[in-house]
Structure 1
Amino acid sequence: MAEIKTPKKLIEVALPLDDINTAAAREKSIRHGHPSTLHLWWARRPLAAARAVLFAQMVNDPGYQQGEGFKYGVNKKEAEIKREKLFQIIRDLVKWENTNNEEVLNRAREAIWESWRETCHLNRNHPQAAELFNPDKLPAFHDPFAGGGAIPLEAQRLGLESYASDLNPVAVMINKAMIEIPPKFAGQRPVGPLPQGEKQGKLMDDWSGARGLAEDVRRYGHWMREEAFERIGNLYPRIKITQEMVAERPDLKPYQGQELTVIAWLWARTVKSPNPAFSHADIPLASSFLLSTKKGKESYVNPLVEGHNYQFEVCMGVPPAEARNGTKLGRGANFTCLLSDTPIDPKYIYAQAQSGNLGQRLMAVVAEGKSGRIYLTPTAEMEQAASAASPDWKPDALMPENPRWFSPPMYGMKSYGDLFTPRQLVALNTFSDLVQEACYKAIADAKAAGMTDDGIGIDDGGRGATAYGDALAVYLTFAINKLADRGSTICTWDSSRSSTRNTFGRQAIPMTWDFAEPNPLSDSTGNFMGGIGWANDVLSRMIPSSGGIAVQQDAATQNISAEKVISTDPPYYDNIGYADLSDFFYVWMRRSLKSFYPSLFATMAVPKAEELVAIPYRHGTKEKAETFFLDGMTQAIHNMADKGHPAFPVSIYYAFKQSETKEGATSNTGWETFLEAVIRAGFSIDGTWPMRTEMSNRMIGSGTNALASSVVLVCKKREIEAESISRRDFQRELREQMPDALEAMIGGETGTTPIAPVDLAQAAIGPGMAIFSKYEAVLNQDGSRMSVHDALILINRAITEYLSPESGSFDADTQFCSSWFDQYGWSTGPFGEANVLAQAKGTTVDGVNTAGVVESGGGKVRLLKWAEYEADWDPIKDNRTPIWEACHQMIRSLNNQGESAAGELLAKMPEKGEPIRQLAYHLYTLCERKKWAEDARAYNELIGSWHAIVTASHEVGHSGSQAELGLDF
C-alpha cells in the first residue's frame, strides 16, 4: 500500500499548556450560558481544553517540514517563531469570552484549512487521494464516547461536521441537543406567542444562530408553567401572615395581612423512638437546625419539647451552638432521640427504614419577601397540603444495590420513584404531560407562522414544523430533568446561600436525612422556569457553523469513525457508574420523549451490560470486572486505531486519578495499565499532555492528590511492519531524541511559553513513549518484552539527566549546590563532606561561600534560602555569580517585588536566562520527589511567571540577546 505522508501535528510536539490549563480552570466557575448547564453530566471536559486539543490535533507543526519529502525547508528558529503564532491562536481560542468570537474562530479555522491543504498537496498522488485528501472538504469528526458532548461541540465550532455516539440514551440526547438540533433550525424566528403582558423588545430582531429556538423554549416553557399552575397550584398554597404570627415575630410586621409565596418546605425524616417510653413518637433525624447563617439574617429551627411530644418553631437571631448539628451525633447515620436523649444508631435506623417506618416531619417554611427569604414556623395546613397530593404514576425502575454510589436502597428507597415526595411526583408528572401538549401547540403555531411542514418527526430527519415541535420538546424535557435534580428528597438546604442543593452534589445519590422541597411554580430556588432559563441561556449563545449527528452506538462495535478525526474521553475504570446514575434522568426523559424517539427510549432503563466500567457487582468479582473493562476498552481503542483518518493522530483523555512516586518517577498502576491497553490496541503514543480539567474544590476530590487531572494521549496507528529493538537501542534513542523534545516543551532557545514544571514530568512522557510504542516490542537482555512500567522508569531517568546540572552545562558552584541540596536541602551538613563534594565538582567550600550562596562555620555548611540573599544584589557588580545564585535571586525578587523587579534583574544578566530556567525545572522535579511542597511551589511559580518576567526585562531597555533571555518577540 502506498505510504501516506502525515506531517506531525502541533499536538505531537508542543502546546501552550499553562494557558490552556488556566482557561480550563477558570471555565469551571462559569455558569450562565455554559453548555454544561443545559443538562447535568458527570466528569465533563472543559470546552477550553477540548477546543485547544482539537485545534492542535488538526494543524501541522511548523517543524515538520524538516523531514525528507516535504516541500519546505525550515530551520529550528523559524519553526519556533511559526509555532508561537499557532500558540497565540490557542491562547485566544481558549478564553471563555472568545467562545463565539468569529474573528478568533476564523483565524483558527483558517489555520486548520491551511494545514489540511498542505497535507492534501503532499498526498495528491496517493491512490486514495480523492477519498482521503479532498482539499475542498475538511474531514468530519467523531467522538465514540461522547458523554456530555463537550468535544463534539468544539469540533463543530471549529468548522468540522461533528458526529457523536454513545451507548447511553441520556448522553445521546444531550449531544443531539447541542450539535444536531441547533444547526437544523439556525436562523429560525420564534413562532410561539409572547407571554401575556410582554412586548416585543427592540433587540429581538436578530434571530441568528439558535436565538429563535432559544426564545421559543422560553415562551413555551412559560406556557407550561402557567398551565401547571392552573392544574396543581392548589398543592402549593401561599401562606398568610396573620396578626398572631406578628405577635410572636415582630419582624413579620411589614408583611401582616399579606399572602406570601412559599419557595421551599424543609423536612426531616423520622423514625420511631428506640426508647420504649417514647415508642409512639416520630423522632426527627435532622443533621442541622440552621436555616440561614447570613450575617444579620440568621435563622434557625428551635425544637420545643413538651413531655412526650415536640413541635418546631422558627427563631431569628444567632443560633445556639447545638443547632448546627440538629439531632445528629458525629458521622454517618447516628442521631439522638429529641425526647429522651437516647442514641439512635445506624442499625436501628436501617431496621426502621426496611420496615417502612421512615416518615417525615415539616420543620420550617421558607417564603419570599421583598428583601429576601423569610423563615416561618410550619403549620398543620402546610403539612395537609403536601399530604393531599396523589400521583397517578411514579418511576418503578430500581436503583442498584451498590452503596458506593447509591445509599437510599439501604433505607427502603428501592426505586427512583421513591426519591420523590407524592407532591414532587405530581409536579413532575404534570410537567411531563405538558411537554406533549406544548409540542402540538408549537407545531400549530409554526404552521400558522408560515413554516413549511413535511409531517416528518425530528427522529426521522424532519426539518419542518413537526420536527420543530419535537425539537422544542427536547429542551422542555431538559428543564424537567433540572426540576427533578433540584426537586428530590435527596436535596438539602444550604443555610449559607439560603438555597437548595441539587441531588447530584457529587457523582452518587447519597442518603439525606433532612431535605428541602422547593416550589416548582415559584420564581425562586428549584423552580421549573429556572431550567427553562438555563436552556435559553445556552441556546441563545449557540452559533453552529456546521452540521452534527448524534446516535446510540457501542464504542467497541461502532463503524462511524471511518476516515474521521477522533478525539474522545472514555470512562475511566470504575470511577463513575454513568448508566446507573443517569437512570435518574432517563425515567423522566423517557416519559416525555419516548413518542418522539421511540428506538432510543425502547428500554425501561439505560443499557448497562455493555457499559465499559469495571463494576464488580455486575460481573461477579473484581477480577472479572477488570478483565471485562480492559478487553472492552482495548477493542474500542482498536476500533479507533483501525478506522480513524490516517492523516491525524487520535487524542484520548485519561482521568489521571492519583499519583505515587517510585524510583524518582511519577507513576500509577491504572495509568500504566491504560497505556498498555492503548499500545496493545495498535497505537503508538506520541504525546501525553496533562490538562487541569477538574475543579480543585470538587466534592469527590476533597483531600485527594493535587495532581488529579486529565492526561491527553496523542496516538497514531502503529506501522504493521514495526520491528523490535533491544533495551540498549531504546536507551540510545532516548538519549538522542529526548533533549530536542524537552527543549521544545520548556521553550527552546527562542522561548515559546514554557510548560510549568508541575506538568513537565507528565508531558515529557509523550516523546519517550513515542519511541517505545512505535516498535513491536522493546526486548530486555533475557528476550522478554519490556513493560510500560519499566519504560516509564527509563523515560523519567532521561528527563532527569537532561535537566540535571550534572549534564555539564552548569558552572561548578551550581553543580555543588545542586548535589548538596539533593542530600541536605536547607539543613546543615558536615564541612568535611562538603569539602569532598566541592573538590569533586571542581570548586571549594570557600569559593562557594565567597559566591554568597552558603553559610560555612563551626564545621558545618548550609545552603542559604532565597529569602536570606542580599536585597540590593547587582549581577553586574558581582564577580562570581553561579547560576544557582542567579536563580534564587530571581525567586527572591519575584516573591518580594513582583515580575517587573524580576525582569529588571534578568535584564542585567540575559545570558543566564536559559540556564536559570533549566535549573528551576530540575529543582522543582527534585523537590516534588522529596515532597518539599513549599520549595517546589517557588520554582514552579518562577517558570509560570517567566513570560511576564522576560517581557518586563525588555521594557527596562538593557541590551541582551532575546534568545538568551528565553523569548523571541
Structure 2
Amino acid sequence: MLDFSRSFIEVQFPVSKVSKESYKERMSNLGQTLTGLGKWWGRKPLVLVRAAILGILLPVSDNLEKDREIFLKLMTMDEDGLILRKFKNLTQKELYELADEDYIKEYMELNDGGMPVYKRGLTKEEKEKIQIHVFNGLSYDDKLKYCNRPEHIENLPENVWCEINAHLETHADSFQSLIEELGIKRFGHRPKIGDVFSGGGSIPFEAARLGADVFASDLNPVASILTWAALNIAGADDEEIEKLREFQKDVYDEVDKLITEWGIEHNEEGHRADSYLYCMETTCPECGYKVPLAPSWVIGKGTKTVAILIDNGTDGFNIDIVQGANKEKFKESDKSITVRDNYMYCPHCELQTPITSIRGDRQGENGETISGLRFWEKDEFIPRDTDVFQERLYCIRYVKEYTDEKGNKKTKRYYTAPTKEDLQREEKVIKLLKERFKHWQDKGYIPLAKIEEGDKTSEPIRTRGWQFWHQLFNPRQLLINGLFAKISSQLADGQMEKAIGILGLNKCCDWNSKLCIWNAGSGTEKTQNTFTTQALNTLYNYGARATNMYINSWLMNINSCYLDIENIIETKDARNNTETCDLWITDPPYADAVNYHELTEFFLAWNKTLLKRAFPEWYTDSKRVLAVKGTGESFNNSMIEIYNNLNKHMPDNGVQVVMFTHQDVKVWAELAMILWSSGLRVVSAWTISTETTNGGLKSGNYVSGTVLLTLKKQTSQEKIYKDDLYDEITYEVKNTIDSMKDINDKDDPDFNDADFILASYAAALKAITSYKEIAGIYIPYWLAQGRDSAEINPIVELISKAQDIAYNYLIPEGFDTFIWRELSKEERFFIRGLELEMDNIYKIGDYQELARGFGVTDYTDMFYSTTANKTRFKTADEFKRRHIGGDGFGSTLARHLLVAINDCINENKSSAGVAYLKSIYQENNEYWKKKNIMIELLNFISRVESIGHMEHWKQTGYFAKVLREALRNDGV
C-alpha cells in the first residue's frame, strides 16, 4: 500500500551513497554541468538536488527495503545502475589481481614478459564478463572511479522501468513522465518546484531536467542570469549551442584581430605575450629608494624562474628575470622579498617599515582605521606620480612559435624582464584606453560605478585608494575586457547571445583583474581567478592575461542538456514572492560567511548596461539594503518573513526542503525556531558530506556537511510542557535510530554513528515542532538573543538532550552496558572512532561529529592521519609512550592500555604489559578494581586483528588479545 501523504525522505535517505556521489561531482571541477557558466559561491551538487526531489515525490510503502531499492534504481546507485554508468574498463593487471581464480584460469594469462593479459581469442562479451565480475566485487567508492555521474544517464532500460512502475503503480518510461505521474498522484498535476534563493541555478536546473515546472528567483541579478543561463543555455538544444559557440568564436576572433593590429602583445621578433606580471612600488621612508613590493619573487617552480632585485646605485632597483635558476639564485631571490608580515623591507638600507605607516593609516575618533592614501578619481585608471603606490611591469612571458627539424610546429614559452620597447607598448595601451575611456564608460563597456563600502568592498578603498570598480583593473585588462564587452554587444543577435556575452565577460573579469594571484606552482605558472577566496583582497604583485590566455574564459565550457519545460525566472525579494509552488527547495544564506551582495557588485559594475539590454524587466543593482545577511534579530526576522511567505504559497500537502551548512547545535536550534515561527514543522533531516581532500582536522574544527531539512505545514494547536516533551524526544530518538538500523545494509552500510547522532537532532526538532507551543518558552525572545548569548537556550538544551540520549543508546555491539557508562568521554570517542575504522570509514567529518557529540575538543594527538577520507587513530606502536598524562585522553585507562600493548609488542611478552599496568594502578588496589574494565576494553581492541582493511592494527589487535588473556588469568 502506497502512502502519498508521506515521502521517502521523511523515513529514510541513503546518505552515504548520496555523499559519495556529491563528492565525485564536486571533484569533477570543470566537468560539472553548471560551473562553466560562471562564478557562484556554494553551488549545491546536482546529484544532491536530484536525490532531494525524488526523495520528496516518492511515496512510502509498507516495504521500506523495496522503497530504498526503487530510490537507488532511479538514482542509478544500485548494482545495475552502476554497471549502466560504467564507462571505463579495469586494466588487465587489475583484473588479474582482483578476479576469482576460476575467472583468471578461464580468461587471463601471463605474456612472455610476465604481464597479465587477456587470453587470445576472447570475444568482446567474454572480456565484458570478467570486467563485470571484478567490478561487482569492488567497494562503492572504488566502483565510482570507473563510472560517469548519475546525470549522464538520460534514461533507464525498459526492464528497470517495469520494476519501478510495478512498485509505484505508474506507467513511466522516462524520468520526466515519472515526475509528472508522481506529481499527479500527490498534487493532482505535474509538480511545480520553486527556489527563491536560486544562486547558481542548481535547484531549478535539476528540477527542470527531471521534468517539473520551475519557478526561480533571486534578489541578486548575477544569480538570476546564472539561473536563466542554467535553464536556457545549459538547457538549450544542440543547434542553439552550436550557434552560441560560433558567436563566441566570432567575438574572440574580432578581439584578437584588433589586438594584433594594435601591436600591443607582439615583440620585435614576432613572439606573442601570454602573461604579464606587475607589482606595486613605493618609496622607502628611510632611504628614499623606490622599492618594488612582493611577498615572493618566485615566478615558476617548474621552469625554475625567479626575479632578483639589483640595486641601480641611484634611486631604486632593476629587476632581473632568471629562468632555469639554481638553488643559489632562489636564495638570492628570497633575499629580495620586500613584503614580510605586513612590513616593507628595503634591500638598500635593510630597514623595515610597517605597511600601515607607508599608507599613513591613523585611528579615528571611534577607533576605526582611516587610510592616509589619496582616493583615486572617477576618470583615473593609473596612479599619479605623487601616489604612495605605483604600478610596475616586471616580467613578461612570451610564446615563441617555430618549426623543428622534422617539420613539426612547436611552441616555447620564456620569461623576460620588460625591454624599452615593451614599456613603449605599455604606454600605447594607456593611450588607446584614454582615447576610448569616457565613450566606453557611457556605453557600459567598462565600469562607471563607485565601490560602496562594506565588509569586503572596503578593502580596495582602504588599502589602495581605489574608489571605483574599474580601478581594480589595470589599463591592459580594461582595454581587453572592454573590447570583449563592446564587440559582443555589437555582434549579439537576440537574448541568448547577449546573455552568453555577459557571462563570458564576467569570467574574463574574474580571471583578469589586479586581484589575480600569480600561481608559481610547478605545472601551473599562471594567474588564478579573482574569487579564489570569498573576498576582494588587494595584492602586492599579480598576474595579467594576454588575449590568447582569454580563450578558456571567453569560449565557455557548455555542458548542455535540452530542457523542454515551463520556467519562470525573476529578480525579486523573496519576501515579495507571489508564486505558488508544490515544493520549495531553498539554500538560504543562513549562517553563511559569503557576502554575496558585496562580491557580486564586482560583476554588476561591468553588467549594468548590458543586463538592461538583455533583460529589460530586471533591475541591475545588488539591492544590498534588502539582502538577507549576517546573524542576529533582524536576520532572523527577515528569514521568518520569507519562510512564512513561502508557507502561504504552497498547498496544505506541500513540502519544503531547506538546505543549510551543518555546524553546531545552536545553528540547528536557531533555524528550527525560525522555521517553526514561520508555521512549518520538521519531518526529517539528513546530513550529506561533500568532503574534499584539501583541509584537515583541527581541534574544534568540525565538518561542514549540507543538511537537508524537510518541512511541512504546522497544523497542530496543541501545547506541551517541557517535561512531557523530554519523554517524546527520548521515544523519537530511539525509534529513529532503531528504524535506521533496521534498513541499514550490514555489508554496505548507509548510516554510521555520525548519521545516528545527526538523526537525533532531527528527532528532537520533529518532536518540538509538532506542537504549536511549548509552555514557558517564548520563541521570539530566544530568537532575539543570538547564538552568542550567555543564557541557556531551552531549544538548544532539548537538542543536546536528544544527542545525549543517542550517545547512551549507541553502545558498541557486544560491549558491556555498565562498563560503557563508566568510561570517560575521550575513551568513548576512541572506541567509537575505532569502530568507524572497522566499518571502513575514514572521513574527517564522521570523526569530528563523534568528537562534538562526546564533547571532546582536544583530540589531534590521537590521530595518525588527518587527511580527508584517510582519517584514523594511531595504533599502540604508533602512539608509543608519547602523550601520556595531563588532561584528556592521555590520562585515561584506554591510553595506558595502549602503552601496555606497546610494551608487549616491544618485548614480545604479555608480562611487560601487566607490569606496566600494575605500576600505574598500584595504589588502593586500583589494578584489581579496574581489571574487568581493562579486559572489556582489550576485548574490543582485539577485534581489529581479524579485519582485512586494518592491517596496520593487526599487531595491536594480537597483543591486545594476549594481554587480555594474561589479565584474565592474573590472580586466578
Is the TM-score greater than 0.5? Answer: yes
Q: C-alpha displacement at 1:365, in angstroms?
A: 0.5
Cα contact 2:248–2:554 (8 A) shared by 1:
yes
Match of 2:650 in 1: 644
Match status 1:141 vs 2:149: no
Structure 1 residue runs of 5 or longer lacking an equivalent are: 63-73, 120-128, 187-209, 242-257, 441-468, 615-624, 660-666, 830-836, 838-851, 864-880, 906-969
Match of 1:587 in 2: 605
| 1:516 maps to which of 543, 551, 561 | 543
Match of 2:309 in 1: 303
| 2:534 maps to which of 507, 512, 519 | 507
Cα contact 1:16–1:91 (8 A) shared by 2:
no
- In 2, the alpha carbon distance for the partners of 1:87 and 1:792 equals 31
| 1:292 maps to which of 291, 300, 303 | 300
633-642 or 108-117, larger mean C-alpha shift:
108-117
Q: C-alpha displacement at 1:596, in angstroms?
A: 2.2
Q: Which amino acid counterpart does residue 773 of structure 2 have in structure 1?
A: A
Cα contact 2:757–2:807 (8 A) shared by 1:
no
| 2:491 maps to which of 393, 417, 438 | 438
SS of residue paired to 1:102: coil
Match of 1:261 in 2: 272
| 1:213 maps to which of 240, 246, 262 | 240
Match of 1:387 in 2: 427
Cα contact 1:817–1:884 (8 A) shared by 2:
no
Match of 1:492 in 2: 517
Q: Which amino acid counterpart does residue 738 of structure 1 have in structure 2?
A: V
Match of 2:966 in 1: none
Q: C-alpha displacement at 1:178, in angstroms?
A: 0.8
Cα contact 1:217–1:476 (8 A) shared by 2:
no
Q: Which amino acid counterpart does residue 517 of structure 2 have in structure 1?
A: T
Match status 1:350 vs 2:359: yes
- What are the within-5 Å matches in structure 2 for residues 60-459 of structure 1? 60-62=59-61, 74=62, 78-90=63-75, 92=77, 97-104=149-156, 137-181=189-233, 183=235, 186=236, 210-234=237-261, 237-240=264-267, 258-275=269-286, 277-278=287-288, 281-294=289-302, 297-308=303-314, 309-316=316-323, 317-318=325-326, 319-321=329-331, 323-324=333-334, 326-332=336-342, 334-351=343-360, 353-354=373-374, 356-369=387-400, 370=410, 372-388=412-428, 389=430, 390=433, 391-392=437-438, 393=441, 394-404=446-456, 406-410=458-462, 411-440=464-493
| 1:889 maps to which of 943, 954, 957 | 943
Q: C-alpha displacement at 1:136, in angstroms?
A: 7.3
Q: Deviations over 1:613-668 (max 9, x none)?
A: 13xxxxxxxxxx72221111111111222222433421101123x44xxxxxxx23
Q: C-alpha displacement at 1:97, in angstroms?
A: 2.6
Q: Which amino acid counterpart does residue 338 of structure 2 have in structure 1?
A: K
- In 1, the alpha carbon distance for the partners of 2:884 and 2:509 equals 62
- In 2, the alpha carbon distance for the partners of 1:361 and 1:891 equals 64
Match of 2:768 in 1: 772
Match of 1:482 in 2: 507
Match of 2:637 in 1: 631
Match of 1:717 in 2: 713
- In 2, the alpha carbon distance for the partners of 1:530 and 1:45 equals 24
- In 1, the alpha carbon distance for the partners of 2:28 and 2:333 equals 34
Match status 1:671 vs 2:695: no
Closer, same or farther: CA 518–583 of 1 in aligned 2, 3 Å: same
Match status 1:797 vs 2:804: yes
SS of residue paired to 2:279: strand
- What are the within-5 Å matches in structure 2 for residues 644-663 of structure 1? 644-656=650-662, 658-659=663-664
SS of residue paired to 1:489: coil
Q: Deviations over 1:234-280 (max 9, x none)?
A: 55534547xxxxxxxxxxxxxxxx422100110111122212x42xx
Cα contact 2:187–2:582 (8 A) shared by 1:
no
Closer, same or farther: CA 887–50 of 1 in aligned 2, 3 Å: farther
Cα contact 1:132–1:563 (8 A) shared by 2:
no
SS of residue paired to 2:319: strand
Match of 2:853 in 1: none
Cα contact 1:492–1:514 (8 A) shared by 2:
yes
Cα contact 1:487–1:517 (8 A) shared by 2:
yes
SS of residue paired to 1:138: coil
818-827 or 4-13, larger mean C-alpha shift:
818-827
Match of 1:819 in 2: 822
- In 2, the alpha carbon distance for the partners of 1:820 and 1:702 equals 24
SS of residue paired to 2:687: strand
Cα contact 1:148–1:175 (8 A) shared by 2:
yes
Match of 1:546 in 2: 565
Cα contact 1:692–1:710 (8 A) shared by 2:
yes
SS of residue paired to 2:749: coil
- In 1, the alpha carbon distance for the partners of 2:645 and 2:157 equals 31
Closer, same or farther: CA 748–470 of 1 in aligned 2, 3 Å: closer
Q: Deviations over 1:83-127 (max 9, x none)?
A: 2332353363897533131125999999999999789xxxxxxxx
Match of 1:191 in 2: none
Q: Which amino acid counterpart does residue 683 of structure 1 have in structure 2?
A: L
- In 2, the alpha carbon distance for the partners of 1:514 and 1:307 equals 24
Match of 2:627 in 1: 611
- In 2, the alpha carbon distance for the partners of 1:502 and 1:427 equals 16
Q: C-alpha displacement at 1:416, in angstroms?
A: 1.0
Match of 1:32 in 2: 30
- In 2, the alpha carbon distance for the partners of 1:22 and 1:382 equals 51
Q: C-alpha displacement at 1:20, in angstroms?
A: 1.3
Q: C-alpha displacement at 1:21, in angstroms?
A: 1.3
The total of aligned residue pairs comes to: 729
- In 2, the alpha carbon distance for the partners of 1:357 and 1:828 equals 55
Cα contact 1:269–1:284 (8 A) shared by 2:
yes
Cα contact 1:9–1:648 (8 A) shared by 2:
no
Closer, same or farther: CA 762–130 of 1 in aligned 2, 3 Å: closer
Q: Which amino acid counterpart does residue 476 of structure 1 have in structure 2?
A: G
Q: C-alpha displacement at 1:314, in angstroms?
A: 1.0
Cα contact 1:687–1:765 (8 A) shared by 2:
no
| 1:760 maps to which of 756, 759, 779 | 756
TM-score scaled by structure 2? 0.68
Q: C-alpha displacement at 1:22, in angstroms?
A: 1.6
Q: Deviations over 1:335-354 (max 9, x none)?
A: 21243333232223323743
Match of 1:686 in 2: 683
- In 2, the alpha carbon distance for the partners of 1:219 and 1:862 equals 78
Match of 1:940 in 2: none
Structure 2 residue runs of 5 or longer lacking an equivalent are: 82-143, 172-180, 361-371, 376-386, 401-409, 783-792, 831-882, 886-892, 894-909, 922-934, 959-972
Cα contact 1:15–1:87 (8 A) shared by 2:
no
Closer, same or farther: CA 787–430 of 1 in aligned 2, 3 Å: same
SS of residue paired to 1:397: coil
TM-score scaled by structure 1? 0.68
SS of residue paired to 2:229: helix
Q: Which amino acid counterpart does residue 778 of structure 1 have in structure 2?
A: I
Q: C-alpha displacement at 1:892, in angstroms?
A: 5.5
- In 1, the alpha carbon distance for the partners of 2:636 and 2:501 equals 38
- In 2, the alpha carbon distance for the partners of 1:79 and 1:854 equals 53
- In 1, the alpha carbon distance for the partners of 2:43 and 2:500 equals 20
Closer, same or farther: CA 282–433 of 1 in aligned 2, 3 Å: same
SS of residue paired to 1:407: helix
- In 1, the alpha carbon distance for the partners of 2:732 and 2:184 equals 31
Closer, same or farther: CA 796–293 of 1 in aligned 2, 3 Å: same
Cα contact 1:687–1:713 (8 A) shared by 2:
yes
Higher relative contact order, chain-length normalized (CA < 8 Å, sep 6+): 1
Q: Which amino acid counterpart does residue 359 of structure 1 have in structure 2?
A: Q
- In 1, the alpha carbon distance for the partners of 2:744 and 2:37 equals 45
Q: Deviations over 1:801-860 (max 9, x none)?
A: 32136xxx8564x7436734658678999xxxxxxx9xxxxxxxxxxxxxx999756774
Closer, same or farther: CA 235–491 of 1 in aligned 2, 3 Å: farther
Cα contact 2:320–2:417 (8 A) shared by 1:
yes
Closer, same or farther: CA 853–884 of 1 in aligned 2, 3 Å: farther
